Amino acid sequence: MEETTGITDRAVSAWLRDHMKKQGIRQRDIADLIDRKSVTYVSNCLTGKQSWRLSELDRIAPLFGLHDALSLIADSRAYTPMLDRIFGDEDERIRAAEQAARSGDWVPAADEDEDKTHEINGEAGDAYDPA
């Protein structure tokens, strides 16, 4: 099955995996809660192969002391250990950004700033007009 999930799906799934483990909640418990006969769906969602439905997250959230799906999503996006697993540690993120810059995959905004030369020379630039 091709992975079609996005960053939010992966963040929610990582958050759920960690909190399920901490609280001793099994995939079968989640499957029963969201009325799924098989744990395969839950497994696919937890591994990022499939997206969670918001209505399911609304039912899951109270297990973890959260009000609804939006609370769960917000909490998962702020969950540092999960972000490190998705994106790697800070040094890895910096190396990836530096590699992208060297390869020309992205250009820092300052390199395209019309006032850059003026500012370097201590002159006032006129490309930005706040008025």
* CA–CA gap between residue 46 and residue 85 (Å, rounded): 14
pLDDT of amino acid 48:
83
Residues 6+ apart with CB under 8 A from 3: 48, 49
0.75 exceeded by pTM? no
Tens of pLDDT along 39-75? 999 999 998 889 999 999 999 999 999 999 999 999 8
Domain of 81, in residue numbers: 7-85
Q: Answer yes or no: is 122 within a domain.
A: no
| CATH number reported for the structural domain that contains residue 49 in this entry | 1.10.260.40
Neighbours of 52 (CB within 10 A): 24
* pLDDT bucket at 9, cuts 50 / 70 / 90: confident
Residues 115, 127 contacting (CB under 8 angstroms): yes
Burial class (CB in 10 A: 0-12, 13-18, 19+), 36: middle
Q: Answer yes or no: is 126 within a domain.
A: no
The tally of domains found in the chain comes to 1
pLDDT of amino acid 107:
54
